[in-house]
């Protein structure tokens, strides 16, 4: 039976499966596992293939069930190493956990077939530690499926920042697609959302493939610990130049990606999505990548990523209708005789103690309202933004409650090594405040920022 690329197709395909299994007296346990696995595969088809798809069911003489989902998008699925609390990225793992075999077969430009089987044996019932062979698609296969007749060059792409942006993009685009199904008159055209998803995949697939290549080379043997990285994301080089194969008419897809993400950000700011709005650096890196693709297809030469050290990223958040700071008693920090700074989930400083402001050469009133990156040395800002973005997207954190020593940027551009202890305090409406208790030495030391 064929279905359209709509969220309701998940329900309809499960009904189709359930009727087939009931007619053939398939055991309830296997029926439930089959429905779960089909839901995940169909959701991928709806959210990522954006084409009509066909579900084919067959029952072998020995009672084995085979389910195939055939769509018309040649882009092959890629396993994503997202955190346990991520709202997306684990569907293929669930299919593997609750079936006896699964895989994907390319049909070339005509699309692909994702399949799974269930037999009479006990179900595995637990996710596997490693990506199973049926899903372990070679990067060459993914690149070939995504290849086009044109090439966009992204000079100095920051992979750490892009990986965090990719996870945020995946979450907000998924939320946008589901919100659009309930509000079709207020949402972007589904065809534009489909174009946006393809553009996102073209870049992200190439980034992951390049990181795989670098990880296997001697140049990646040196880990980035000496650079002070605290990001939960994989160790990556600071930047690299990336060639992205795209179709000749890809400019419209990258324009659609900007439009879709802008629409999703606006909804997130209003609190209408589960995802929080993206930080300014996350928005800037995707705007840069999209604008590079659009301009290069118009014949303009590539321009490199300008980096996160720009002054505009440290200013107050005034360029969007962001939520007001959460309701919270700032006196805990403002009246403290210790070094302390509090920031909200928009990465905005909402309180700072006088001892800390004095030690860093700032006036308290000059810091409150600015973004916390004003205190982060430029070479650590991408790691900070990437880690905080992943925390907002997935809830995962690696630094809360862990004693740290890190350099802090002073008002005069010098750096001072400080002891840190970060606490997270839940407040109203599911938001949070982050307090960093900071103990700077009496005399600042370090090099110019």
* Cβ pair 315, 305 in contact under 8 A: no
pLDDT for the residue numbered 69? 96
Cβ-count burial 407-444 (b if 16+ within 10 Å, e if not): bbbbeeebbbebebbbeeeeeeeebbbbbbbbebeeeb
* Residue 117 structure tokens: 């089987």
Query: How far is Cα 392 from Cα 90, in angstroms, rounded to an integer?
Result: 18
Per-residue pLDDT of the chain (449 residues; tens, 9 = 90+): 999 988 889 999 999 999 999 998 887 878 899 999 999 999 888 888 888 999 999 998 877 899 999 999 887 776 555 555 444 555 677 788 888 888 889 888 899 999 999 987 766 555 444 444 444 444 444 444 445 578 999 999 999 999 889 889 888 888 888 888 888 888 888 888 888 988 988 898 888 888 878 876 544 444 433 333 334 445 668 899 999 999 888 999 999 999 999 999 999 988 888 888 899 999 999 999 999 999 999 999 999 999 988 888 887 654 444 556 677 889 999 999 999 999 998 889 999 999 999 999 999 999 998 999 999 999 899 989 998 988 888 777 778 888 989 999 999 999 999 999 999 988 876 678 999 999 876 544 444 43
pLDDT for the residue numbered 217? 59
Q: What is the pLDDT of residues 217-269, one digit of tens each?
A: 544 444 433 333 334 445 668 899 999 999 888 999 999 999 999 999 999 98
**What is the chain's percent helix, strand, coil content, to nearest 5?**
45, 20, 40
Domain covering 331-439, topology: Beta-Lactamase (3.30.450)
Tell me the three state secondary structure of residue 282.
helix
Torsion of CA 122, 126, 131, 137, to 10 degrees: 50
Q: Strand 349-352 relative to strand 340-344: parallel, antiparallel, unpaired?
A: antiparallel
Q: What is the pLDDT of residues 51-88, one digit of tens each?
A: 899 999 999 887 789 999 999 988 777 655 555 544 45
Interior angle at CA 85, CA 276 and CA 333, nearest 5: 55
pLDDT for the residue numbered 429? 64
Classify residue 89 by its DSSP letter: S
pLDDT for the residue numbered 325? 64
* Cβ pair 9, 47 in contact under 8 A: no
Q: Where are the alpha helices (DSSP H) in 341-403?
A: 354-359, 364-367, 378-394
Query: How far is Cα 152 from Cα 328, in angstroms, rounded to an integer?
Result: 46
Domain segments of the chain: what residues?
Answer: 2-137, 145-307, 331-439
Quote the pTM value.
Answer: 0.75
* Cβ pair 281, 385 in contact under 8 A: yes
Distances, alpha carbon 351 to alpha carbons 38, 100, 243, 412, in Å: 49, 55, 44, 21
Domain covering 2-137, topology: Heat Shock Protein 90 (3.30.565)
pLDDT for the residue numbered 433? 92
Query: How far is Cα 408 from Cα 57, in angstroms, rounded to an integer?
Result: 60
């Amino acid at each position: 039976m064929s279905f359209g690329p709509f969220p309701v197709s998940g329900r309809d395909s499960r009904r189709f499966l359930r009727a087939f299994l009931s007619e053939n007296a398939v055991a309830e346990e296997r029926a439930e596992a089959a429905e779960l696995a089909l839901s995940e595969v169909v959701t991928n088809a709806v959210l990522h293939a954006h084409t009509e798809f066909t579900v084919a069911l067959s029952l072998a003489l020995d009672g084995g069930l085979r389910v195939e989902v055939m769509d018309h998008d040649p882009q092959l699925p890629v396993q994503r190493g997202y955190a346990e609390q991520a709202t997306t990225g684990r569907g293929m793992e669930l299919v593997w956990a609750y079936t006896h075999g699964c895989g994907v077969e390319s049909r070339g430009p005509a699309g692909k077939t994702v399949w799974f089987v269930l037999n009479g044996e006990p179900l595995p019932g637990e996710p596997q530690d490693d990506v199973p062979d049926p899903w372990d698609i070679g990067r060459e296969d993914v690149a070939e499926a995504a290849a086009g007749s044109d090439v966009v060059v992204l000079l100095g792409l920051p992979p750490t920042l892009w990986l965090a942006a990719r996870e945020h993009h995946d979450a907000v685009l998924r939320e946008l697609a589901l919100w659009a199904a309930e509000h079709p008159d207020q949402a972007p055209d589904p065809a534009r959302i489909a174009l946006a998803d393809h553009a996102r995949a073209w870049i992200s697939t190439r980034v992951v493939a390049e990181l795989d290549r670098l990880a296997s080379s001697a140049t990646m043997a040196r880990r980035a610990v000496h650079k002070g990285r605290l990001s939960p994301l994989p160790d990556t080089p600071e930047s690299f130049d990336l060639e992205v194969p795209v179709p000749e008419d890809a400019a419209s897809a990258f324009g659609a990606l900007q439009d879709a993400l802008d629409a999703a950000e606006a909804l997130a700011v209003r609190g209408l999505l589960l995802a929080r709005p993206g930080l300014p650096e996350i928005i800037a890196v995707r705007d840069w990548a999209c604008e590079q693709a659009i301009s290069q297809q118009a014949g303009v030469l590539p321009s490199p990523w300008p980096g996160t050290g720009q002054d505009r990223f440290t200013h107050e958040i005034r360029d969007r209708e962001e939520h007001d700071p959460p309701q919270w008693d700032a006196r805990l920090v403002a009246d403290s005789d210790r070094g302390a700074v509090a920031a909200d989930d928009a990465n905005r400083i909402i309180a700072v103690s006088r001892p800390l402001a004095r030690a860093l050469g700032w006036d308290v009133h000059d810091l409150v309202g600015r973004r916390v990156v004003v205190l982060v040395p430029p070479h650590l800002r991408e790691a900070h933004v990437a880690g905080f973005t992943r925390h907002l997207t997935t809830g995962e954190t690696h630094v809360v409650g862990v004693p740290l020593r890190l350099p802090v940027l002073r008002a005069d551009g010098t750096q001072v090594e400080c002891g840190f202890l970060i606490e997270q305090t839940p407040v109203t409406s599911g938001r949070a405040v982050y307090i960093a208790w900071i103990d700077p030495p009496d005399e600042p030391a370090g090099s110019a920022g």
